[in-house]
Structures are given as structure tokens and as C-alpha cells.
Amino acid sequence: MSELPKTFDPASIESRWYAHWEASGQFRPDRPNAEPWTIVNPPPNVTGSLHIGHALDNTLQDILTRHARLKGKDALWVVGTDHAGIATQMVVERQMGALTPPQKRTDMTREEFVAKVWSWKEESGGEITQQLRRLGCSMDWANERFTMDEGFSKAVLKVFVDLHKEGLLYRDKRLVNWDPGLGTAISDLEVETREIKGSFWHLRYPLEDGSGFIEVATTRPETMLADMAVAVNGADERYTALIGKQVKLPITGRLIPIIADDHADPELGSGAVKITPGHDFNDFEVGKRAGMAAGSMLNMLDAKARVVQVSDGLIPAELLGLTTAEARKVVVARLKDEGFLIAHVDKDGEEHDAEPRTIQTPYGDRSGVVIEPWLTDQWYVDAKTLAQPAIEAVQTGAIDIVPKTWEKTFFNWMDNIQPWCVSRQLWWGHQIPAWFGPDGTPYVAETEAEAQALAGKGVRLTRDPDVLDTWFSSALWPFATLGWPEEGAVPSPLRGEGQGEGQPSSATPGTAPHPNPLPGGEREQVQKQLGGRYPNDVLISGFDILFFWNARMMMQGLHFMKDVPFRTLYLHGLVRAADGAKMSKSKGNVVNPLGLIDTYGADALRFFMAAMESQGRDIKMDEKRVEGYRNFATKLWNAARFAQANGIVASTTLEAPRADLAVNKWIIAETIATVQTVDLALADYRFDGAANAIYQFAWSRFCDWYLELIKPQMVGDERGVIDAESKLVAGWVLDQILVLLHPFMPFITEELWHAMADPAHPREHDLIVAQWPMADARSLDPKASKEVDWLIRLVQEIRTARNELNVPPGARLPLHVRDASTATLARLERQAPALARLARVTHAEGEATGGAAQVVVDEATFVLPLEGVIDLNSERARLTKAIAAAEKERDALSGRLGNASFVERAKPEAVEKAKADHADKAAEAARLQAALGRLG
């Protein structure tokens, strides 16, 4: 048993234990005869660094992984990084631009640039993997994956080609989110909506026959150059006679039809809407319903969002080459000069060209430029078809979404899913396996030779320069990381030195049987191919990537593996700033988890994340609570030092020791109850429930009460010794605490696990591969538990009374009792030494006289005479004055909260603070009133 230092220093143990676990192969699946348990990490960008969301996500995954390992599962946590096409290409291009002289990607060949990115990846990429180690993540680093690995890339190409062969992947002309700064299509996830001050222009479009005009309104007057229709609602009587007629578009003079479509709302504006299908997602759908082919829709912008000529050649030359902002000024000026602009009259009767509006505007989250809906040819996946099995999997329970509240959102999105654009105009990524013939016909194959065979000998082919969306490749993560499509290609177990023996399997979160829509034979084939690692047991993810990643893994997994990718999908919330605001660099409220680890240790941060993770709720960052959990670790450290000082060592048995003393029977029962609570909480993915159960048991029951109850008394000038039975029980209980706490606080628990070892019986293995505690009900003794619970309640009541009435801490008081049962009197006699030590009272016979404090526990009233101990009249006066002050503040706060004006106009945080202060003052008044009542 190594003596623990006086001060707990997280930094001194974290790097040492992590290096030991990794070097000795403790994270590797190493129990070939045990039931496999598998989880994959959402692969972070190879360019990324650990943020507070990563800390939450990976802490929860590590808790489940370590728990499964302790339960005897053959636990595998698959780890890897995503190649992050846009982000990585931007990083490398930015570095090239900072060189002297600056370099551009286009200064070199594609192959040279890709080689440069690979070089950057090897030298600088993957910093986050080292940061995950600092958090304590027990990932299988020996089989770390990367979405651009050779084997993974093979899976990506196969999926693309197979989907194309099945007609589920195709090339089409549609609107995409186009980033003019990056020159590529981007996903919805990469679009950031901002509120900006803009304008709303009202325009006159003259009817072709000169009989009048129709009014439309727009926030983007420049796009009228590519208008293809004006839509009105078919039920709007104002326009019924105009449907089918044409208007003459100002500036260009082009004739466009008036069409009927429900998109036009008679209650909004004039009820007529300009339709620009090549530059607006809603208008694109209107155009399709009107029979416009995508190829006929006008596109007035180039890849840099500058005005280009359209097919009829009617856009004036003065507008060509302008940005959208520049074109807007010219278009508005011409509309005004030519009488097509309707002035806006403000509340003061003054005329303006436009009505001021706050407009929701899309920006690229990386480029920072306005995103344009842009009509272009891209590759699409038929997500509607692939979504159906995923919907059924959730409906039947083959996949459990936790919490269930997210199911409605999932179904709503999946039922209305749109074609998935999977092509990106980048150089870094999986280049699309398609080759075009001279006539534009694509030939899709895994190799150029195969494509050439499809096209025919002598047909000149050109490779599609685009790459695949990174969400396309990461959708294969649950099975491509296991070696698919190679037969049986799963990570082989590596037995590390110092590993524990395989343990019997028992229940673990996510392993309960689920309905399975597949025939048994197909499921068995999939399981055999991937070593029983597919489906994964559970996926932990933020709710914000439910559609971008989780749903797409469901679609691809069900289609290619004929089974769900995971049995349970746990969706956690966001970590927000202390005031509830979303964290962002622009707000300056981002919290660095590595800074918290430096200050408080990884264990404290992890425990905070778990204790605050309540299903369906976001987490508010609270550094004081992180500090509080560091204090919790310190308390456990000091409890272990107390144990060492009193000859308490690690237990040599999994079963609870035999106990005769009530206090030992009580703590064994409390331990078993805690194990049961934690088991149930983790089975239900109630991380907060599990963490708080361990916290309360370790801090309150074990450290505050049990160690105090067994602490040896001073006999004269010497301290006594703890009895042999209590030493055995205390060592056993401390072991159970360390195992229960290990998934949450791995570093301190591993350190104490070894520090508490008896030199005569050294630990046979590390804590990380120990055995989870057993909730053995045979060790329960209800009678003993009730007695110690009664003792604790009585001590708490006496301490509260002494504290509230300002009784000097060192004063020893007689304790009289009324209406006590025979059983209570017997307990008083048995627990007299504990009451004398913990409450500083001695049982006295007869009735108390004079002023006294009274407390009630169960049927008995306990009386503490206070004559001569405190000034009773002064104490009554003090309490009366304090009660009046507390009630005054309580009532003032109540009045403020009852004022509708305050509640409606004040900041939410001010209202919440007022509510909290009111509750505090109300509780204080009640507490003081009770104290006054005790004096009679």
C-alpha cells in the first residue's frame, strides 16, 4: 500500500495512468469469449480541437464503455477522425497563402495539392485525438480510423457505385446551397442564418396587353432579371381573370406568365409573388409544379455570384459582371426611373424606395459570405427511398431513440426528406468515381478501367473533378470502420500485459433485445462478417446532427448491412453559457475544456458533464460546480488517506464481508442500494441519476457518516483503534465506490485502487478491468439499517437546533426524551457513544425544566435544556428580528414577481434570480420560525 500524498493533485496522476492504460492495451477488446459491446465515436474533424460539446459527447461515451468493460463485456470503442473536406482544404490553402511568395491551390496540379494536404494531416492534423486522451477517453487507438484511409475509401466508392447501379444515386440539375467564397455546394449544416437589416421593395409588373399591372414585393429585386413567372393563389378572386395571361418584365422586357399556385398567400402583401426558380428554393418547387424543367430555369449568377447573361440575352450589359449587391443598386435605380418602383410611405407620411425589414440571411459558416441558392448539376441520393426502412426501424423499436421526444422530429424530417446532394466542388476528399464521355454521359465505376469498359473502347473519358460530401462517407462509419466490405475484416483482439481475465457477461445499457425486422439468417450473416460488432450497441450524439449523420447512418446501414447500425440512439443537448446563451466565438462566451482540465482535473470536468446531463435538456456551464466536483475528488482522496492511517486496506472479496455491528450492516445495505440505483440509471441512460447517486453515497453516507461513526474515540491522550470488522467492511465499501465511480472519474479511482492495495494481497489487475459490484440482496438487514438511519436523523436534528440557536459548539447538553417507545429507548442506550461524539449530548432521565429546544424524530420528542447555556430572551429577540427581516424581503420579492410588467419586461435571467431569491427568503423565514418554535 503506497502512502498517498497529503494533497490531491490531478495533473500528477492523469498523464501517468493514461499512458499506462494505452501502453498495456487496456482499451483493446480482449475478451474473446465475452459478449461483444461496441460503440463508435462521432468522428471529429481532423482539423478540429476539443470544445465543450466534444467533452460532453465523449464523456458520456466513455462512461458507457468503461461500464461495459467492468460488466464483463468485450468492449470496443471505435475511434477515428473525419477528413473534413472544406475545413481541411481551407486550412491548407490558408497556410499556402501565408507563404512568401503566396501560393494558390491552382498553382499546382490536383495531385500535388492533395499530397500537400496529406502531408499537413500527418504533421499537424488530429490534434484533437491527443486532447481526447487528456479527457480520459478509453478508445481503441490501436485501430484508429480515418475517412480517407485506403480501406475506408474502398467502402465509400463501393457504396457510391452500388447505389448508382440500383438507381438510388443519380445526377440532376437542382438548387443547392452555393458558397461563392469557397466555390462549392455546402450542406444545410454548414449554413449559418443571421438577422440583418434589409429592405422590402414593391414592384409593378405591367400586363402584356397594357391594361394595368400586378404588384409584387421582394427582398431581392436583382433576381427579377431571372424571373420566370408571377404566382397568385387560385382562390384569390382578385387575380382569377389574370391567370394564364402574361406580364412584361421590367428592364429585360421578357414576357412571363401569371400562374396559380398555393405558395401565393392572399393574406400576405398583394397576394402575388415573383417566381425565380433558379435562385429560390420555394420558387424552384413552384416552377416544377408549373411544368418548368430544371434545364429551362434561368440562372443569372456564376460561381462567384456575379451576374451573367441568361439564355435570351436580355440582361443589359451594364449589369453583367456585377455582384448581387452592386446589381441590386442598379436594378432599383432603373425600376425607379422607369416608374416600376412603388414608394413605401412610412408612419410620418414620408416616401421611401423600400420598406425596412429584418431579414433572415444565410451565410457560409466558414467563408462568411452570403449563400446563394444556385441551379447546378450535382449528384443526388434518393433519400426518400432509403429513408423508409429507417422510419420503420424506429417505429418498430429496432432502434430506440432516447429521449423519445426526438422521435416526432425524426419522423417529420424523414417523411419530408429531400434528395440528398452528395457532390462538392473541392479537391480534398473522395473523388467521385464517375467519368464523362464527350457527350456528357457519365460512366460510374470503382476504377477508370471499369468505366472505360462501360463506355466502350476508344471513347475518351474525363474524370468528374468533384468530391463527395463528408457526410456521405461518415454515414458508413458503423460498418466501414470494421473493415467492410472485406469479409470478416474486424480489428483482431490484442492481449496486453497486465489485463484482467475475461469476466462473465451481464446486463449493460443498450443490450436489451429489440424487435428486428430482418430474417434471422441475414442478421447472422452480418454479425458473422463483422465479428458481432454490427449493429453497434449504442450511438451517443448531439441532437443537432440527428439528420446530417444519425439518420444517414440508419439509411446506409439498413441498405448495405441489412440491419440497423445501432440499437439505441442517445441524443444529448448543448452545453450553453452560464446565462443559457449559445456559446459562440463572436459572443466571447466559449469555454475551453482543456483550461478546465488544467485547473480542476479531467475527473471533475467529466463528473460535471455526467451530473448535469439530464435527458432532453441543455447544460448550463457552471465553473463553480466543476470546482465542487474537484472538491468531491479531494474528499474521496482524504477518505482514502483516513483509511490508510487507520489500517483499512482493499478488500480481497467481491462479496460483502460478514458483519454483526449495526453500522456495518447499514453501510453494506446502502452500498447495495446505490449499486441498484446506478444500474437502473445507466440502463435507462440517466447519466445524471447515476452520477448523483454515487455522489450522495460517497460524500454523505460513506465519508460524512460511516467514517465518523466508526472513527476511533480518544481514550485519554491516545486515539483508539477501529475494530477488525469495520476495517474489513470499510475496505470493501471503498472498493465498491471506486468501481462505481470509475466510469465517471477514471483517474483518481485508478490511483486510489492501487494505493489502497494490501501489500500482502496486491491487486491482480487494474481497476479499468475490474468487476462491477453485485447488488446482493442477501446482505441486507432492514433492522440495522433502520437503527442507523434513525441515529443519523436524530443527530442531524440536534445539530440543526444547536446551530440555529447559537449553542456553543463545545457545550455538552443533557438529552431528555418524551413519549419514546421501548425500541427507541433501547436505541438510545446502544447509540449513546455515537450521540455523545457526534451530537455532544448525553441521555438524561426525567423531565427537562426551564427554557429548552425540542426536536421530534418519529414518535419521540427530544428536549435539550438551554438555561445557562444561552441567553434565551436575547435569542428569542434575535430570531424574531431575523424572521421579520426575512419575511419583509420575501414579501417584497413576491410583490415584484406578481407585477406583470416586471415579469414581461425584465430580462429572463433577472426574473429567474428574483424567483430563486424569493424561494431562499421564504425558506429562511420558515427555518427561523421553526427555531423560535423550538424555544417554546
Model confidence at 237: pLDDT above 50 = yes
Higher pLDDT, 31 or 407: 407
Could you tell me what percent of the chain has a pLDDT over 70? 94
**pLDDT for 140:** 96
**pLDDT for 933:** 77
Strands 423-424 and 467-468: antiparallel
In this structure, the number of other CB atoms found within 10 A of the CB of residue 486 comes to 13
Q: Region 509-533: what's the mean pLDDT?
A: 55
Model confidence at 714: pLDDT above 80 = no
Q: For the residues of 233-281, what is the DSSP string, one character each?
A: -TT-TTTGGGTT-EEE-TTT--EEEEEE-TTS-TTSTTSEEEE-TTS-H
Residue whose C-alpha is closest to residue 86's, from 371, 360, 281: 371
> CA 328, 333, 336: angle at the middle one, nearest 5?
125
pLDDT band (50, 70, 90) for residue 497: very low
**pLDDT for 775:** 81
Residue whose C-alpha is closest to residue 454's, from 473, 433, 474: 433
Q: For the residues of 509-542, what is the DSSP string, one character each?
A: TT-S-----S-HHHHHHHHHHTTT--SEEEEEEE
Q: Region 571-584: what's the mean pLDDT?
A: 89
In angstroms, rounded to a whole number, what is the distance separating the alpha carbons of residues 278 and 267?
26
In angstroms, rounded to a whole number, what is the distance separating the alpha carbons of residues 601 and 805?
40
Model confidence at 507: pLDDT above 70 = no
Q: Is 751 exposed, middle or buried (0-12, 13-18, 19+ CB in 10 A)?
A: buried
Task: Mean pLDDT check: name the lowest of 434-443, 503-512, 724-733, 883-892.
Answer: 503-512
Distances (CA, A) of 783 to 455, 710, 780, 790, 929: 85, 19, 9, 11, 35
* 310-321: pLDDT as tens digits: 988 999 999 999
Q: Region 54-83: what's the mean pLDDT?
A: 96
Q: Region 892-912: what's the mean pLDDT?
A: 84
Q: Region 425-443: what's the mean pLDDT?
A: 97
User: Which residues, including other chains, have CB under 8 Å from residue 210's CB and lie 6 or more apart?
Assistant: none
Higher pLDDT, 38 or 907: 38
Strands 272-275 and 255-260: unpaired
In angstroms, rounded to a whole number, what is the distance separating the alpha carbons of residues 116 and 125?
12
Residue 697 and residue 669 in contact, taking contact as beta carbons nearer than 8 Å: no
In angstroms, rounded to a whole number, what is the distance separating the alpha carbons of residues 669 and 37?
30
* 828-852: pLDDT as tens digits: 999 999 999 999 999 888 787 777 8
Residue 857 and residue 797 in contact, taking contact as beta carbons nearer than 8 Å: yes
**pLDDT for 864:** 87
In angstroms, rounded to a whole number, what is the distance separating the alpha carbons of residues 497 and 63?
23
* 79-124: pLDDT as tens digits: 999 999 999 999 999 999 999 999 999 999 999 999 999 999 999 8
In angstroms, rounded to a whole number, what is the distance separating the alpha carbons of residues 147 and 337?
57
Model confidence at 38: pLDDT above 80 = yes
**pLDDT for 910:** 83
In angstroms, rounded to a whole number, what is the distance separating the alpha carbons of residues 150 and 621?
40
Q: Region 467-481: what's the mean pLDDT?
A: 96
Tell me the CB-side half-sphere exposure of residue 489, using CA atoms within 13 A. 13
pLDDT band (50, 70, 90) for residue 904: confident
pLDDT band (50, 70, 90) for residue 10: very high
pLDDT band (50, 70, 90) for residue 670: very high
Residue 247 and residue 273 in contact, taking contact as beta carbons nearer than 8 Å: no
In this structure, the number of other CB atoms found within 10 A of the CB of residue 747 comes to 24
In angstroms, rounded to a whole number, what is the distance separating the alpha carbons of residues 812 and 841?
6
> CA 708, 714, 717: angle at the middle one, nearest 5?
150
Q: What is the 3-state secondary structure (H, E, C) of 260-272?
A: ECCCCCCCCCCCE
Looking at mean pLDDT, say which of 459-463, 526-530, 708-712 comes out highest. Answer: 459-463
* 627-655: pLDDT as tens digits: 999 999 999 999 999 999 999 999 988 89
pLDDT band (50, 70, 90) for residue 870: confident
Q: For the residues of 132-190, what is the DSSP string, one character each?
A: HHHHT----GGG-EETTSHHHHHHHHHHHHHHHHTTSEEEEEEEEEEETTTTEEE-GGG
Mean pLDDT of the chain: 90
CA torsion through residues 125, 128, 129, 133, sign: positive
In angstroms, rounded to a whole number, what is the distance separating the alpha carbons of residues 651 and 732?
5
Model confidence at 489: pLDDT above 50 = no
Q: Which strand ranges, in their side-by-side order, compose the sheet holding 442-444?
A: 442-444, 434-436, 462-463
**pLDDT for 500:** 34
Residue 928 and residue 886 in contact, taking contact as beta carbons nearer than 8 Å: yes
Question: Can you say how many angstroms the Cα of residue 258 is from the centroid of all Cα atoms in its chain?
Answer: 48
In angstroms, rounded to a whole number, what is the distance separating the alpha carbons of residues 58 and 594?
14
Cis before 808? omega within 30:
no
Residue whose C-alpha is closest to residue 233's, from 202, 269, 275, 266: 266
Residue 52 and residue 575 in contact, taking contact as beta carbons nearer than 8 Å: yes
pLDDT band (50, 70, 90) for residue 717: low
The torsion angle over the Cα atoms of residues 116, 119, 120 and 126, rounded to 10 degrees, is: 140
In sequence order, which ranges of 724-848 are alpha helices (DSSP H)? 724-741, 746-755, 782-804, 822-830, 832-838
3-state SS class at 287: helix
Model confidence at 502: pLDDT above 80 = no
In angstroms, rounded to a whole number, what is the distance separating the alpha carbons of residues 625 and 606?
11
Tell me the CB-side half-sphere exposure of residue 567, using CA atoms within 13 A. 18
Q: Is 21 exposed, middle or buried (0-12, 13-18, 19+ CB in 10 A)?
A: buried
Q: Region 153-160: what's the mean pLDDT?
A: 97
Please give the radius of gyration of the chain, using alpha carbons only, rounded to the nearest integer: 36
The torsion angle over the Cα atoms of residues 297, 298, 302 and 303, rounded to 10 degrees, is: -20
* 176-224: pLDDT as tens digits: 999 999 999 999 888 999 999 999 999 999 999 999 999 999 999 999 9
pLDDT band (50, 70, 90) for residue 525: low
